[in-house]
Amino acid sequence: MFAGKYILSPMVRVGGLPFRLTCLDYGADLVYAEEVIAQRLLKCTKIFNETLGTVDFLDEDGGVCFRTTSKESDKVIFQMGVSDPDVAAQAAQMIEHYVAGIDVNMGCPKDYSIKGNMGAALLTQPQLIKKILCKLISVCSKPVTCKIRILESEEETLSLCKEIESTGVAALAVHGRTRYTRSSHPCNYDIIQKIKSVVSIPVILNGASLDINNRSDMTAVMKKTGVDSIMIARAAWYNPSVFRDPEPVSVREAVQKFMKYCIDYECPLHILKYTIGKFRGAFKDNQSSLEVTRHIETRLIYDYFGLGDYEVASKRTGDIQEEFQKKKRQK
Ligand code: FNR
């Protein structure tokens, strides 16, 4: 399942259902969903949304925490942020029937993760990592993976990877930067190549976006390092059709596909804007997409991309979620 795959990397706010479906349409083999904190999922209520044809996990205040549909159920990996094995197991049991696999985020360097003993905080606690992964594997009927960053020394990194392998995970995704490395710095391909030589589970390389403009760039990185699969975040955000064989489509075409899915699945408007704000060259003028999307009215964006009629006809504009988010922000 994790060999020879071109994979969408998890991205908070970006990697919701519309973005995942867009990447799948363009040729991604698997899509990792944005991280959800396991404790948050446990407080959610599951509903079958018959209007949209989705399964929704709703927060206590009615907002969507995780939305999925059968269109992606054999391709989507649910990623959780977690520090407690039992909580991880409960969250996995809640979600496993609707997804293709479960992943644990062991790379997030953000304050909230570190303070919660999650994400990159786990990297220096191999015993806890093992407890979480072994527990998950023991209760879960779907493959379990984890996504790590490299540590400061090669020795520590290789030893951690071997410990992780010993839990029985289905694959290991490795971001070739430490928790202190800036994302503008090069990815450390050498260490990932070494990891591949010391473990026998599939290794998924992550962190290569600076070197990726199309699918053949991804293939070249896989060949160069000998890894099993590649997982891309920012290059997919710039243009989700980067997965397309042999070449991406124009950014405008990719935006249109993404926006249709946003309309179909009631994506909150602020997420839509935030996401296309990074699509490279989405707007013709000299302003950056980010600047334009911040200031432009959403309706004008629909019109700009020729989707005004589609949006009006669908009557599913995401307004409900947007209103909800607005109220939440005002509180
Ligand atoms: C991320 N990243 C990330 N990683 C993760 O494991 N879970 C997550 O939810 C997120 N969220 C997230 C949001 C955004 C906006 C970005 C840009 C990144 C990290 C990401 O998955 C990936 O590891 C890095 O971006 C490096 O890969 P690329 O960008 O070089 O392909």
* Nearest protein Cα to ligand 1, atom 2: 11
- The answer to whether 133 touches 167, Cβ cutoff 8 Å, is yes
CA distance 177 to 302: 38
Looking at residue 266, its pLDDT comes to 94
- In this prediction, residue 285 has a pLDDT band, given cuts at 50, 70 and 90, of low
Residues 6+ apart with CB under 8 A from 328: 61, 63
Q: Quick one: average pLDDT of 58-85? A: 97
Would you kindly state where each structural domain of the chain is located, as residue ranges?
A: 6-243, 251-330
0.90 surpassed by complex ipTM: yes
44 is catalytic: no
CA distance 248 to 261: 19
24 alpha carbon – ligand 1 mean position (Å): 18
Strand, helix or coil for residue 95: helix
Q: How do residues 29-38 score in pLDDT, each as one tens digit?
A: 999 999 999 9
* Nearest protein Cα to ligand 1, atom 12: 11
Measured at the CA of 135, the angle between CA 129 and CA 11, to 5 degrees, comes to 60
Ligand 1 atom nearest the C-alpha of 119 is 6
Q: Identify the CATH number of the domain defined by range 6-243.
A: 3.20.20.70
Ligand 1 atom nearest the C-alpha of 231 is 31
Mean pLDDT score of the chain: 93
Q: Quick one: average pLDDT of 183-193? A: 97
**108, 161, 262, 267: which one is catalytic?**
108
Q: How do residues 112-134 score in pLDDT, each as one tens digit?
A: 999 999 999 999 999 999 999 99
- In this predicted structure, the answer to whether residue 221 has a pLDDT above a threshold of 70 is yes
- The answer to whether 130 touches 167, Cβ cutoff 8 Å, is yes
* Nearest protein Cα to ligand 1, atom 14: 11
- In this prediction, residue 300 has a pLDDT band, given cuts at 50, 70 and 90, of confident
